[in-house]
Amino acid sequence: MQKTKTLYAFHDFRVTWPCFDYFGFLIHAEWTRRKVGAENLHVVFVPKPESEDHEDFNFTPMQTNWRLNNLVVPGTWLLASCRSISVCNTVEEAREIYENWDGPIFPHGYSIDKPLLMGDPCWPALIANFGDNIQYLRATPQSLEYVNNWKRAHSAGKKIVSITIRNTNYNEQRNSDLDLWAKFALWLQQRDYYPVIVPDTDTALQILGNQFLGIPSIPAAALNLEIRMALYEVSFLNTFVSNGPAYMCCFDRNIHFLNFRTGEFLAEPKNIEAFQGIPYGTNPPYLNQFQKSVWRELSIEVLEEEFSHMSELIEASLQNGSYQEHLSPDPNNKEPVSRMAKRFFDYDNREPLEFAINWIRDNEPENPAFWYLVGLNWNEATNFDPLDDVDSAEDAFEICIEKIKKLPANDLDKYKIEILSDSLGRLNRKIEIERIVREQIKIYPNIIFYYELLGEVFFLQGKTKDLENIFDVVLGLS
């Protein structure tokens, strides 16, 4: 492939805001750069016109400008392939760059008059489920030198554990419980670790509460993104609540962390599933084994338990020589792209849904789930091109059913049974699943899901006695 020198990525503040979500856009752009064979990435920042409302996402105009200059722009330099940027003062300035560039552009389909983002957190999760390692970010060499000098001067050789505080005035339900984290910091000190507080950026230069007396802090990491990233790489383990810095760390293989989910992400599954595209209670597919999302109500016992488990895992891997291999994304975090696409359908997330369907068509043409998704989306304005000629959603469901029925019983997992059941149900033929479900029960007699499906069939057939028997079995397995 002949390489194109540069991919231009347009990050347009008319459709987004200056926050840590930028890293989802940056990762997607870098993945695209590699796919098109470009050597470098050039990010163009397109401003929101002054005539438009700037009170976006609880950021004042001053905060917006500060975040652009101190978060978004320096965040770009954490990506080695990005050698240059353009920070436009006006939309017309961005238009001139756009119209004079004849090379590849990200996002695909972007134009100045029709801006796109493709930077939501669901995109990196989708790409990682394709099987690509997207942990592209790294701390810069100079920042690492500064932080290592700080470490030698302060930690007395102890292992550093960072505690990043969230203490801001929007989405306050995600904020850190200061008393709890102070108690955890003292617990770490008692075990000869060197805990260090990274304060919230908005309060970085204010005095920490009395509960943190005797606990060192490093405000520089809250105000300088390169120092922040270097601190996280140098630390033995990093701890977060649900916040932006934790998201950034997901894309650096050298950062060990525990991300304790808080606020609406912990309380309501749809918030994480719609926003990040991953199943509630799971790790995103791009994380390695030293990076974990913790889905538990916070308490000192939970903090101590999760820290102890992760620290033991890190120490054991260093001792047995497996550390480097554990820095690759954990394959146990992945899920089938078709399953993720179904979640996009459920939450009406159209752009990644179309992307996922087309990827399955190109990479898994024999996957029955492709035809299931085609059927679901037949009457939607979805941009896909089926491999075979079909005239209706019913035709697509029929192809899905036939492909699944041809599979050996041992090759049928729960998800394939789910889409078979739903496809048959949409064709008013659900009772046909009885034989297949009975075969699965012979192989997996303790899986409740199969009995529930069988119960649905008996209900449709009016088999009251059989339905009662299934109910008893389910109660016995529960």
Cα dihedral value 43, 44, 46, 47, nearest 10 = 80
pLDDT of residue 51: 65
pLDDT of residue 414: 81
SS3 42: strand
pLDDT of residue 415: 86
Mean pLDDT of the chain: 91
SS (H, E, C) 347-402: CCCHHHHHHHHHHHHHHCCCCHHHHHHHHHCCCCCCCCCCCCCCCCHHHHHHHHHH
For residue 133, give both structure tokens. Answer: 């390692």
pLDDT of residue 386: 56
pTM here? 0.91
pLDDT of residue 238: 98
Write down how long the chain is.
478
Q: What is the pLDDT of residues 290-331, one digit of tens each?
A: 999 999 999 999 999 999 999 999 999 999 999 999 999 999
Average pLDDT for residues 65-77, to the nearest whole number?
95
Confidence of residue 1 (pLDDT cuts 50, 70, 90): very low
Q: What is the DSSP-derived secondary structure letter of residue 81?
A: T
Q: What is the pLDDT of residues 423-449, one digit of tens each?
A: 988 998 888 888 888 888 888 888 887
**Phi/psi at 283 (5° precision):** -85, 140
For residue 441, give both structure tokens. Answer: 């029960």
CA distance 343 to 353: 9
pLDDT of residue 444: 82
Q: What is the pLDDT of residues 85-140, one digit of tens each?
A: 999 999 999 999 999 999 999 999 999 999 998 888 999 999 999 999 999 999 99
Q: What is the pLDDT of residues 344-379, one digit of tens each?
A: 999 999 999 999 999 999 999 889 999 999 999 887
pLDDT of residue 270: 84
* pLDDT at 280 > cutoff 60: yes
pLDDT of residue 409: 76
pLDDT of residue 123: 97
**Phi/psi at 132 (5° precision):** -95, 140
Average pLDDT for residues 195-208, to the nearest whole number?
93
Residues 125/340, Cβ–Cβ less than 8 Å: yes
CA distance 133 to 329: 7
* pLDDT at 248 > cutoff 90: yes
Which strand ranges, in their side-by-side order, compose the sheet holding 82-87? 82-87, 40-46, 6-12, 105-106
Average pLDDT for residues 206-213, to the nearest whole number?
91
pLDDT of residue 281: 94
The helix or strand, by DSSP H or E, that contains position 160, with its residue range, turns out to be strand 160-164
Largest distance between two CA atoms of the chain: 77
Tokens 């050996």 found at: 408
- The per-residue b/e assignment along 314-325, b for 16 or more CB within 10 angstroms, e otherwise, is beebeeeeeeee
Confidence of residue 2 (pLDDT cuts 50, 70, 90): very low
For the beta carbon of residue 105, count every other beta carbon within 10 angstroms: 18
Residues 395/408, Cβ–Cβ less than 8 Å: no
Distance of CA 167 to the CA centre of its chain: 23
